[in-house]
Amino acid sequence: MEAKDYLKDIQDIKSMMANSSQFLSLSGLSGILAGVYSLIGAFLANNLLSSYSGTNYKITRNTSPISETEITNQLFLIAICVIALSIVTGLTLSARKAKKQGETLWNVSSRKLIINFSIPLITGGIFALIQLLKQDYVLIAPITLIFYGLGCVNASKNTFRDVRYLGITLVILGLISTYYSGFGLLFWTLGFGICHILYGSIMYFKYDRN
């Protein structure tokens, strides 16, 4: 009995150490809502592209008085709004979940999560911004998908493992979209919209409802 108790104590200690290094207040519902915001943003972006070029998903020919610079600025504004809403929602719901669990939102685990997530994300953001300034729009959607996916994979060691699979899925979609150039918005919708809703739902039912 003493040996069994000793082994159980070791397992409990290992479990506590693993949990202390992971941020477990990440809200699955925030992932669902981020996906919804992305779908709305993609819908608005697609309407802009359709009015500009007469087709969906890509710019082919100008059939409206709107300039390319103007439509780029509007698309950039939509993207910023989607990102801002997603961040605010994520922080709000995660803070609520942390409070419910008797934890704090800002701790060692959350700081590690943010650092590991931010390194690929900031790198990809700078890369995409350079492409935007050069008016080379073809790779922007693949860049955002790939580097955001890498950020998820890198951050998954500090939170739920499901985030890793979301990241891998987004990287794959980003790589495929580099081949089907001109249809970046479609892949962006699948990645940031559908995949976020799918994985967010899985995380919600696995962790948030307990």
Q: Which amino acid is at 33?
A: L
Residue 181 in 3-state DSSP? Answer: coil
> What's the confidence (pLDDT) of residue 4?
54
Spatial distance between the Cα atoms of 41 and 80, rounded to a whole number of angstroms: 10
> What's the confidence (pLDDT) of residue 193?
94
Which tens digit of pLDDT belongs to each residue from 108-121? Answer: 777 888 888 899 99
Quote the tokens at residue 167.
């990241």
Write the DSSP string, 47-59: HHHHHHHSSSSS-
- What are the contacts of 54-58 at 24+ separation with CB within 8 A? 56/185, 57/182, 57/183, 57/184, 57/185, 57/186, 58/182, 58/183, 58/184, 58/185
Q: State the pTM of this model.
A: 0.78
Query: Closest Cα partner for 19 from 109, 115, 111?
Result: 109
Which tens digit of pLDDT belongs to each residue from 138-192? Answer: 888 899 999 999 999 998 888 888 889 999 999 999 999 999 888 888 999 999 9
Flag whether pLDDT at 25 surpasses 60. yes
Spell out where 105-161 has E strands: none
Residue ranges per domain, the chain? 28-89+111-208
